[in-house]
Homo-oligomer: A and B are copies of this chain.
Amino acid sequence: MSYCFNDLKNTHTAEWQAYIAHDFVRQLGEGTLSEAAFRHYLQQDYLFLLHFGRAYALAVYKSQNTRDLRHALAGQKIILETELQLHIDYCKEWGISEEALEQLPEARATLAYTRYVFDAGSRGNLLDLHVALAPCLVGYAEVSQYLSRYEKTTRKNNPYEKWLQMYESDVFQNAAKAEIEWLDERLAQVSAERFNELAKTFRDATRLEIDFWQAGLEQLD
């Protein structure tokens, strides 16, 4: 049997759905999310992006050949150059300065997911690392697709319209597609035992992403 990225999702459909169609996501689409929740999320997401950039740097370090290295480097650039700057600019529009972002205490949900990714990567190899990162990069692309289907999504006067645009952009969607292709290629070669190991990592990473939405919704420290 040959595996692919969809198999990772299909092994844990309940968790994946709970993540993609989380209340935080729906309320973002509807434009009904409380400003306080969004601001909490936005600030923690800044810290998240920094760690996410560190995780892609770890992927560069762990690459065994130039092809993998260039793939990881492309991911790192999108995070630490494009996304991070977009995020800083976007925060400014919400009245959150870069200095304020720098001083931010890290919420538990941020600590939990980001550190999980690092351990998955350090303990395992490049594939374990990418699988732990997938709920974020691939997941956000899917969240964006879900919201474009979601009947209650409103794009007019939605205070979060710009956020919606950020993740439906070609740059982001294509990065997610490239990641799925990379994963498909590697997963096609793994044994059943190895797949189960990776599926466990994927599930745990997805659970921690759910917590990240939830922490936004409840403004948890």
Contacts and interface: CB of A to CB of B under 8 A. Distances in A.
Interface of A: 50, 53-55, 57-58, 60-64, 66, 69, 72-73, 76, 80, 102, 106, 108, 111-112, 114-116, 118-119, 122-125, 128, 189-191, 193-194, 197, 204, 207-208, 211
A50 B58 CA distance: 14
A6 to B, nearest CB: 20
Nearest to A193: B189
A124 B64 contact: yes
- Is chain A's interface secondary structure helix, strand, loop, or mixed overall? helix
B118 A108 contact: no
The quantity of this chain's copies bound in the complex is 4
Given A108-B207, A125-B124, A54 B60 contact: yes
A92 to B, nearest CB: 16
A189 B62 CA distance: 22
A198 to B, nearest CB: 10
Contact of A204 (B106, B190, B207): B106
A197 B64 contact: yes
7 contacts: A57-B58, A57-B76, A58-B58, A61-B61, A63-B123, A64-B124, A111-B208
Contacts of A66: 50, 102
Contact of A57 (B60, B124, B194, B208): B60
Contacts of A57: 57-58, 60-61, 72, 76
A193 B190 CA distance: 11
Nearest to A117: B115
B106 A64 contact: no
B111 A116 contact: yes
A61 B63 contact: no
